Amino acid sequence: MSEPKLVDARGGFCPGPLMELIATLKTLEVGQSLELLSTDEGSTADVPEWVHKVGHKMGPTSKDAEGVWHIVVEKAK
């Protein structure tokens, strides 16, 4: 897998980070991934639910020391 495309949605609130993720995924080729940066705790539930629903692949999710969530998604179709 290549280096994920970075989507910086820090400071946004639901559904903003998810909408930014969806818009960016549309620009990627199958097999490419993105890393969403979000300070909205809701993203940790919203993103995996949407990814599962539409059939993409979840990568690792982590929270850094500054409280930013790093959520990786791979485009599957």
Cα 12 to its chain centre, rounded Å, is: 13
The per-residue pLDDT for range 22-36, each reduced to its tens digit, is 999 999 999 999 999
Question: What gap in Å lies between CA 75 and CA 77, rounded to an integer?
Answer: 6
List pLDDT tens digits, range 40-62: 999 999 999 999 999 999 999 99
DSSP-derived letter for residue 8 is E
Contact 43, 69 (CB under 8 A): yes
What angle in degrees, to the nearest 10, is found between the helix axes of 43-54 and 16-25? 40
Q: Which of 7, 9, 4, 20 shows the shortest CA–CA distance to 60?
A: 4
9 is catalytic: no
The reply to whether the predicted model has a pTM over 0.85 is yes
- Length of the chain counted residue by residue: 77
Q: Where are the domains of the chain?
A: 5-74
Which of 5, 14, 44, 61 is the catalytic position?
A: 14
The CATH number assigned to the domain with range 5-74 reads: 3.30.110.40
**Residue 40 DSSP one-character state:** -
